Structure 1
């Protein structure tokens, strides 16, 4: 199965583009069951991409069609305010579920790398492994929508049994 709703992916374009490219590669391989509809495929940027207002306008349009957000968290993601923090604020304001994917392999919130704006909020924190990303895309958005306000604080994780059931025992 794969996730057919639009997914907006946030990442450090200078340092973590490799991870975004790997996700697109997983999606492209026919023998791998990994799919997502990439919100970045819509409203492409043109030569005006150096203008911050222009870029944010295009990104805002991409958010309109997104059902969930993946933020790829690398070593410097927490320090990026111009776009990454802004994109996370937009996702929160639009009440879009956020899946925080730790590129260092952490399976829980890591305050040394996690952007402060999503620390201790109702976000699921997972490792950068295809199977757990697919699992989160298939399960977290519906969980997010069912949450109640008194249970909607604090970072979420998947327990070890979920990782084990996916063959991720490391």
Structure 2
């Protein structure tokens, strides 16, 4: 089976966390990998329709949408909320990655559009994110988090 094709959404203030995920992929100490469908470089345009069209093309390539959820993610309406909506419409597996270390949904930080739609929520850590990428578990409705047994098996 191939690598999970994944589009990672994030607030611009959390870009460094996305870049660290790329470093995890390159580091042999981590068993972490995915086919990154994110844009290869920032789009040099102010045209919102053009930017959204390019992002939609990349989300359409992905089977999984992973959202880095930081302190200001909930308030990002122009692109982050829109990306989530496109991923939901496409039927992507949804992973909420909590930068605050939470193992479940944090409704104070997570955009409302990502709540109650079958996403699994995990902390920002390579082993559990890799597990979520390799084992899609979207519930039909509601929010999902892994059991303590899964974390223990992964060495947490």
Q: Partner of 1:54 in structure 2?
A: 50
Compare the two structures and name the one with the higher strand fraction.
Answer: 2
Ranges of 4+ aligned residues in structure 1 off by more than 2 Å: 44-47
TM-score, normalising length: structure 1 = 0.86
Q: How many residues align?
A: 156
Q: Partner of 2:63 in structure 1?
A: 67
Task: Give the alignment's Cα RMSD to 1 decimal.
Answer: 1.6
148, 155, 158: which one pairs with 2:143? 155
Gaps of 5+ in 2: none
Q: Which has the larger radius of gyration?
A: 1
> How far, CA to CA, are the matches of 1:131 and 1:51 in structure 2?
38
Q: Partner of 2:37 in structure 1?
A: 39
TM-score, normalising length: structure 2 = 0.93
Gaps of 5+ in 1: none
Compare the two structures and name the one with the higher helix fraction.
Answer: 1
Q: How does 1:132-147 map to 2 (within 5 A)?
A: 132-140=128-136, 143-144=137-138
Q: Does 1:23 align with 2:11?
A: no
Q: Partner of 2:155 in structure 1?
A: 167
